[in-house]
Amino acid sequence: MSTSCLACRKSVVPEIELRTETFPVRGESVEVESQVAFCPDCGEDLSVEKLDQLTLQKAFGEYRLRHGLLSPGEISAVRKKYGLSQRAFSLVLGWGEITVHRYEAGSVQDAAHDAQLRMAADPRNMALLLSANGYRLTRRQRAQLDMSLSGMQGEIAAATDECSWPLMTRRSADEFSGFRVFDIEKFTEMVVYFASAPRMFRTKLNKLLFYSDFLNFKQSAVSMSGAQYLAFARGPVPQHYDWITEALEQQGDIRTMEWTYGDKSGDVFESTRAAETSILSESELRVLAFVRDRFAKATSKHLTDLSHAEAAYSKTQLRQMISYEWAHELSISITD
């Protein structure tokens, strides 16, 4: 293997040494041991595309391990389990057409997409996705997925009974629900209320819902919706969030679009109607308006960083439910 040395102005056979290098991945510094090529004559570092790509993928792999994310091979295995193309798998998940291709090629998925991929690995959940997003597939793609699922009818029937919209969201009134039984109607109107703002990304919406529920608890000793929140890598996320928003899209309350800018992309939610605020109390509406105005110009990253600093998140183990008792230490308050 030879390459050009710009310092020597000639083609050389590089020598390789191991070095510890640091790379930025999604705003974090990731340290990996990399193979670095250098000129045997002058010692100048050389760019060898294959080695550079290997090092970058090692950094991505370390980041995935750090955050418990699926590897490209694991994502590919989930897809191939159903005999789907990358495009068809993306569509049945409700994503943009090339999203799965990017993840299998090495791009790092966010925590929300990772959670949905893990859920899709269960054929019972895939049956629900087919029911929700089957219209996005061609007749041939639907037939392929139907055939893959045909030998699992018992599991699928059980999942349909256990994971339907009302049962999936049934909760008890305790410290993890803010001492309120989950209120589907209120949660729906909270989502519709915030999704009326332009470019409402998935991550930002998660954080606005969290701050609304926890601020309401701080003010009134009860949550607004009764939603339970999990501590995910990018901050608090409502439990069963993907299924709930999928159901809201099916009902026609919101729609989801993929926003792409350069090498960045993400899901954007849009309301299809005005929020029905009559089911919310005056104090609850005040909390929603406060959270909306307070974070109107905040980016998803800013809200992620802010939520990471909250005791509710920092004192809860990853992927565990967050107690509303931490709401008393929330960094924001409504002042008269």
- Domain spanning 3-67: CATH 3.10.20: yes
> What b/e readout covers 46-83, taking b as 16+ CB neighbours within 10 angstroms?
bebeebeeebeebbbbbbbeebebbbbebbbebbeebe
Which one has a higher pLDDT value, 163 or 25? 25
How many angstroms separate the CA atoms of 178 and 174, rounded? Answer: 6
> What pLDDT is attached to residue 205?
95
Report which of 189, 190, 217, 222 is spatially closest to residue 206, judged by C-alpha positions.
190
Q: Are 44 and 36 in contact (CB under 8 A)?
A: no
* Least confident interval from 14-18, 123-127, 136-140, 317-321: 14-18
Which one has a higher pLDDT value, 49 or 80? 80
* pTM higher than 0.75: no
Whether the predicted pLDDT of 180 surpasses 60 = yes
Q: Domain residues of the chain, as ranges?
A: 3-67, 72-163, 175-329
Residue found by looking up tokens 């993907």 in the block: 242
> What pLDDT is attached to residue 152?
65
Q: How confident is the model at residue 298 (pLDDT cuts 50, 70, 90)?
A: very high
Element (H, E) at 64: helix 49-67
Report which of 264, 155, 249, 149 is spatially closest to residue 205, judged by C-alpha positions.
249
What mean pLDDT is predicted for residues 135-161?
74
Whether the predicted pLDDT of 260 surpasses 80 = no
What mean pLDDT is predicted for residues 109-128?
85
Report which of 136, 125, 81 is spatially closest to residue 243, judged by C-alpha positions.
125
Q: How confident is the model at residue 168 (pLDDT cuts 50, 70, 90)?
A: very low
pLDDT digits (tens, 9 = 90+) for 83-98: 999 999 999 998 988 9
Whether the predicted pLDDT of 61 surpasses 90 = no
